[in-house]
Amino acid sequence: MLTPTGSLVPNGGNFENRWFAGGGRVISSHVLARLAGQPLHPFLVTHNQADLLALKALIEAGRVIPVVDRSYPLSETAAAIAHVGLGHARGKVAITV
């Protein structure tokens, strides 16, 4: 639900289709945004070494603290994906190798 002047920023996906993940949601968001006449702003990630170094410095200084919900061993990766896909994660889910 958006306000009349709201903007949609799709940034996640469902896990029903492992090959396309959130692609279907992004495409349907584009279609719905055009029908509703509201702007859509895609959330695209690009990696930039300078940004990653700045983030590293913030983490090392204790100014950014990652929240890890759970850790799963590699053998339980399917359970980890299910945990996230069902909306149960309250932080990042890590896979240990």
Give the model confidence (pLDDT) of 18-77 as tens digits. 555 556 666 766 677 677 677 776 666 677 899 999 999 999 999 988 889 999 999 999
Same domain assignment for residues 36 and 55:
no
Residues 21 and 63 reside in one and the same domain: no
Would you state the structure tokens that stand for residue 3, as one six-digit string? Answer: 């306000």
Give the model's pLDDT for residue 68.
92
Q: Which two tokens stand for residue 19?
A: 């090959």
* pLDDT for res 42: 66
Residue 76 sits in the same domain as residue 40: no
Chain center to CA of 45: 10
23 and 34 together in one domain: yes
How many structural domains comprise the chain? 2
Domain containing 41 equals 1-45
